[in-house]
């Protein structure tokens, strides 16, 4: 069984075959035999050739979570979509700087369409959980479109505004 | 006469904390909750729970009318406000009083006086306490504030007159940032406290934030329960608190404690409260503000003194005289508290929402968890992102830090990102271990902090693969095929799908 997991933009591939409580793993060119017991659903005790680790795996519709060594890692299993992932997936797309970092309410819009801004200028202020988040211009340019007005609800990842292409 | 029934006008971990104290004392509890909190622990734990409907704070936990209606219809004799929301709202305290419902806290007059940070400073200055220099006037026009700011010099702080909890508070390092900072602080203040006014203060370099817990009864007795050092702050929000402070000598502790008691006496304070001080690098201390309520970080004081502050709040409000004497307060050992926030440290500490899929907290001697969540609870964007607090006590500071490290590594929240990885590194930082840290600590050592490793550890990949082999899902398996003829597993035999 071949599996791929995406975590923080990296793809991890692993092959696993099960034989009772033995699991044969191929990972990064090396092979491992581990013995795993499930204490209760998702609570795993894994013997890595004498070293025993405890982890908890939990899943939602689109993510898997693993708790190991005091830390929670969130991964997305990659479905068989025909898309090819190799190593790093894309660098941040060019307009990600204008995406709202949080779901909240737009409290202030500092720019209008056609305004020229310089790097660092505050363009929009979004409030969530009683804190304000500033959308700042990452570079100089002209504001082409403002997608929200004060008082609007905004969801995480929504484009706050459109800026002219870099010259 | 002790109350028979108390309404808790709050949510989350603090509502749970107060309910527990009431139940131990045989007091019937009434919880209130918004639609977003229907399934949270405080609702299940209370003897009675009444819906406030709409989750918007102004329609629920900040809605005085709705809460008082519930208090009256359920026959609650007293209201415990917790912290935040209506805890420092003098109109709420006054409205309770008018209806003959006891507000568990100081009088409306004291709340109003201390709630106005400017008047509070002037009152304390008149009683002989030192305050930080700045502009504490009434003028709020941007041009006047800009002018005053320039004359104070930079860096300076903009703070909300009705503020608290880091909201409406900005540090201004240079003149060019002043206008934006004032306006932003005014908006935050307006939205968080309904009052947009701000004041300006000289920014102390390398200060320590040290506060004293006060208990004052309604018969004129005031004592303090020693200090809490809350210098570990991010964006003016406390993250880690401890007692005793490594910065205080016996003499300094004594004079600050006396000043705190004097501050409480000066305004006729009653119930539990906290006097906050800034301590500068020369160990001079300045009155910062008085919090007229139970503090988030009260468990560290409870851990070191063995005193149950919430029970004393209930006793004091019902008229009981303080039986504790100052000389009987003998803190021992060292206590640390970490605030667990639903924040993603890998995304600039943005608050996170989501469903708590699994939750497991550390248990052991001298480990205390104050939690407002349980499995399947949904974290919504409506309220503060604090999920709970982890408090531990050790024989000494090193022992306490080791215990906290262990406890944090066993604190599991799955489904919502938390600041736990960050807390672990802060606790383990060499400068934190050394002690004597200032409010600049996080900024200095953790300014652009991200998780050290962005990689998925090998063990995690193995566990995922094992789990997926136990519970295979067709659409997640990239490819089914016969084992590679050259694969060393060929000899392992045919593997199975489905268990």
Q: Which of B212, B205, B227, B209 is nearest to B282 (CA)?
A: B205
Q: Do the domain assignments include residue B109?
A: no
How far apart are the CA of B316 and the nearest CA of chain A, in angstroms?
32
Q: How confident is the model at residue B476 (pLDDT cuts 50, 70, 90)?
A: low
- The pLDDT tens digits of the residues spanning B347-378 come to 788 899 999 999 999 999 999 999 999 999 99
- The pLDDT tens digits of the residues spanning B301-317 come to 999 999 999 999 999 99
Read off the tokens for B249: 């000598």
Q: What is the DSSP string of B59-126?
A: GTTT-HHHHHHHHHHHT-SEEE--SSTTTT-HHHHHHHHHTTPEESSS-HHHHHHHHSHHHHHHHHHH
Q: What are phi and psi of B430, to 5 degrees?
A: -55, -40
- Tell me, letter by letter, the H, E, C secondary structure of B183-209: HHHHHHHHHHHCCCCEEEEECCCCCEE
Q: How confident is the model at residue A85 (pLDDT cuts 50, 70, 90)?
A: very low
Are B266 and B360 contained in the same domain?
Answer: yes
Q: Which of B80, B64, B86 is nearest to B192 (CA)?
A: B86
pLDDT value for A141: 87
Task: Please tell me whether residue B440 adopts helix, strand or coil conformation.
Answer: coil
Cα nearest neighbour of B458 on chain A = A27
pLDDT value for B488: 45
Q: How confident is the model at residue B20 (pLDDT cuts 50, 70, 90)?
A: very high
The answer to whether residue B155 neighbours chain A at the CB level (below 8 Å) is: no
Least confident of B159-173, B174-188, B354-368: B159-173
Are B273 and B399 contained in the same domain?
Answer: yes
Are A73 and A102 contained in the same domain?
Answer: no
Of B360, B412, B465, the CB nearest to A14: B465
Read off the tokens for A121: 């200028």
Q: Which of A63, A43, A62 is nearest to A53 (CA)?
A: A43
pLDDT value for B425: 93
CATH assignment at residue B181: 3.30.1490.20
The answer to whether residue A37 neighbours chain B at the CB level (below 8 Å) is: no
The yes-or-no verdict on residue A92 having pLDDT over 60 is no
Read off the tokens for B177: 């940032």
CATH assignment at residue A30: 3.30.700.30
pLDDT value for B454: 75
Residues 6+ positions from B415 with CB-CB distance below 8 Å: A58, A60, A65, B354, B355, B356, B357, B358
Q: Which of B143, B448, B446, B170 is nearest to A122 (CA)?
A: B170
The yes-or-no verdict on residue B424 having pLDDT over 90 is yes
pLDDT value for A167: 54
Are B372 and B306 contained in the same domain?
Answer: yes
pLDDT value for A164: 82
The yes-or-no verdict on residue B422 having pLDDT over 70 is yes
- The pLDDT tens digits of the residues spanning B225-251 come to 999 999 999 888 899 999 999 999 999
8 Å CB contact between B431 and B437:
yes
Q: How confident is the model at residue B165 (pLDDT cuts 50, 70, 90)?
A: low
Are B173 and B312 contained in the same domain?
Answer: no
CATH assignment at residue B72: 3.40.50.20
B433-436 — which CB contacts under 8 Å span 24+ positions?
B433/B398, B433/B401, B435/B246, B435/B247, B435/B397, B436/B246, B436/B247
The answer to whether residue B144 neighbours chain A at the CB level (below 8 Å) is: no
Are B186 and B239 contained in the same domain?
Answer: no
CATH assignment at residue A159: 2.40.50.100
d(CA A19, CA B499): 11
The yes-or-no verdict on residue B480 having pLDDT over 60 is no
Q: What are phi and psi of B243, to 5 degrees?
A: -145, 140
Give the residue from A43, A77, A111 where a domain finishes. A77
The answer to whether residue B424 neighbours chain A at the CB level (below 8 Å) is: yes
The mean per-residue pLDDT over the stretch B21-36 comes to: 98
Q: How confident is the model at residue B477 (pLDDT cuts 50, 70, 90)?
A: low
pLDDT value for B492: 43
pLDDT value for A165: 74
**Domain range holding B34?**
5-104
pLDDT value for A137: 82
The mean per-residue pLDDT over the stretch A135-151 comes to: 86
Q: How confident is the model at residue A88 (pLDDT cuts 50, 70, 90)?
A: very low
pLDDT value for B496: 42
Are B386 and B286 contained in the same domain?
Answer: yes
Cα nearest neighbour of A19 on chain B = B495
- The pLDDT tens digits of the residues spanning A1-42 come to 888 999 888 889 999 999 999 999 999 989 999 999 999 999
**Domain range holding A146?**
96-163
pLDDT value for B319: 97
The mean per-residue pLDDT over the stretch B49-70 comes to: 96
Check A72 against B414: CB less than 8 A apart: yes
Read off the tokens for B429: 């930082």
Are B10 and B151 contained in the same domain?
Answer: no
pLDDT value for B205: 83
- The pLDDT tens digits of the residues spanning B267-304 come to 999 999 999 999 998 899 999 999 999 999 999 999 99
- The pLDDT tens digits of the residues spanning B262-271 come to 999 999 999 9
Q: What is the DSSP string of chain A?
A: -EEEEEETTEEEEEEEEEETTEEEEEETTEEEEEEEEEEETTEEEEEETTEEEEEEEEE-SS-EEEEETTEEEEEEEPPSSS----SS--PPPTTGGGB-SSSEEEEEE---TT-EE-TT-EEEEEEETTEEEEEE-SS-EEEEEE---TT-EE-TT-B-EEEPPP-
d(CA B310, CA B112): 22
The yes-or-no verdict on residue A78 having pLDDT over 90 is no
- The pLDDT tens digits of the residues spanning B425-453 come to 999 999 999 999 999 999 999 988 876 66
Q: Is B434 exposed, middle or buried (0-12, 13-18, 19+ CB in 10 A)?
A: exposed
pLDDT value for A163: 85
Task: Please tell me whether residue B328 adopts helix, strand or coil conformation.
Answer: helix
Q: How confident is the model at residue B44 (pLDDT cuts 50, 70, 90)?
A: very high
Q: Do the domain assignments include residue A65?
A: yes
The yes-or-no verdict on residue B328 having pLDDT over 50 is yes
Task: Please tell me whether residue B359 adopts helix, strand or coil conformation.
Answer: strand
Cα nearest neighbour of B481 on chain A = A1
How far apart are the CA of B406 and the nearest CA of chain A, in angstroms?
9
Are B88 and B171 contained in the same domain?
Answer: no
pLDDT higher for B421 or B474?
Answer: B421
């Amino acid at each position: 069984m071949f599996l791929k997991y995406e975590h923080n933009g990296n793809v991890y591939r692993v092959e696993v075959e099960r034989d009772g409580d033995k699991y044969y793993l191929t990972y990064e060119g090396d092979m491992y035999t581990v013995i795993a017991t499930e204490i209760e659903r998702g609570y795993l005790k894994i013997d890595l050739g004498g070293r025993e680790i405890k982890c908890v795996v939990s899943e939602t519709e689109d993510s898997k979570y693993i708790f190991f060594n005091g830390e929670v890692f969130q991964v997305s299993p990659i479905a068989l979509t025909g898309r090819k992932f190799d190593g790093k997936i894309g660098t941040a797309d060019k307009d990600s700087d204008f995406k709202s970092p949080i779901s909240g309410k737009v409290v202030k819009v500092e720019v209008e369409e056609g305004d020229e801004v310089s790097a660092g200028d505050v363009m929009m202020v979004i409030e969530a959980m009683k804190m304000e988040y500033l959308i700042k211009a990452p570079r100089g340019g002209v504001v082409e479109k403002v997608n929200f007005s004060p008082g609007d609800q905004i969801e995480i990842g929504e484009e706050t505004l459109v800026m002219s292409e870099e010259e | 006469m002790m109350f028979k029934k108390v309404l808790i006008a709050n949510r989350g971990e603090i509502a749970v904390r107060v309910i527990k104290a009431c139940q131990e004392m045989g007091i019937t509890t009434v919880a209130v909750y918004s639609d977003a909190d229907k399934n949270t622990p405080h609702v299940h734990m209370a003897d009675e729970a009444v819906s406030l409907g709409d989750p918007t704070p102004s329609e629920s936990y900040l809605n005085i009318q709705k809460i008082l209606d519930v208090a009256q219809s359920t026959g609650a004799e007293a209201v415990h406000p917790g912290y935040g929301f209506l805890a420092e709202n003098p109109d709420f305290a006054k409205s309770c009083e008018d209806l003959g419902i006891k507000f568990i806290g100081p009088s409306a007059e004291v709340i109003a006086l201390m709630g106005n940070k400017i008047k509070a400073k002037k009152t304390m200055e008149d009683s002989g306490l030192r305050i930080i220099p700045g502009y504490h006037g009434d003028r709020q026009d941007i041009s006047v504030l800009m002018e005053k700011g320039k004359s104070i010099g930079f860096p300076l702080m903009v703070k909300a007159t009705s503020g608290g909890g880091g909201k409406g508070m900005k540090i201004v390092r240079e003149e060019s940032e002043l206008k934006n900072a004032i306006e932003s602080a005014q908006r935050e203040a307006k939205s968080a406290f309904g009052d947009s006014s701000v004041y300006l203060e000289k920014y102390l370099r390398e200060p320590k934030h040290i506060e004293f817990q006060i208990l004052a009864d309604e018969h004129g007795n005031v004592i303090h329960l020693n200090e809490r050092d809350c210098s570990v702050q991010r964006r003016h929000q406390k993250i880690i608190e401890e007692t005793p402070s490594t910065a205080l000598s016996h003499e300094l502790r004594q004079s600050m404690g006396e000043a705190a008691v004097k501050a409480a006496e000066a305004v006729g304070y009653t119930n539990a409260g906290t006097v906050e001080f800034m301590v500068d690098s020369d160990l001079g201390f300045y009155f910062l503000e008085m919090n007229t309520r139970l503090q988030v970080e009260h468990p560290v004081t409870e851990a070191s003194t063995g005193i149950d502050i919430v029970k004393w709040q209930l006793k004091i409000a019902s008229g009981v005289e303080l039986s504790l004497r100052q000389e009987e307060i003998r803190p021992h050992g060292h206590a640390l508290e970490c605030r667990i926030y639903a924040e993603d440290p890998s995304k600039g500490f943005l608050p996170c929402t989501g469903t708590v899929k699994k939750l497991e907290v550390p248990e052991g001697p001298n480990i205390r968890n104050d939690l407002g969540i349980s499995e399947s609870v949904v974290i919504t964007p409506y309220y503060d992102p604090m999920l709970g607090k982890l408090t531990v006590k050790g024989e000494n500071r090193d022992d306490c830090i080791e215990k906290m490290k262990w406890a944090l590594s066993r604190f599991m929240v799955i489904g919502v990102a938390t600041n736990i990885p960050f807390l672990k590194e802060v606790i383990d930082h060499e400068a934190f271990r050394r002690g004597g840290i200032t409010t600049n600590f996080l900024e200095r050592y953790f300014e652009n902090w991200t998780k050290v490793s962005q990689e998925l550890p090998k063990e995690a990949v193995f566990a995922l693969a094992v789990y997926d082999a136990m519970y295979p899902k067709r659409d997640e398996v990239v490819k089914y095929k016969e084992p590679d003829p050259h694969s060393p597993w060929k000899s392992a035999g045919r593997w199975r799908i489905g268990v």
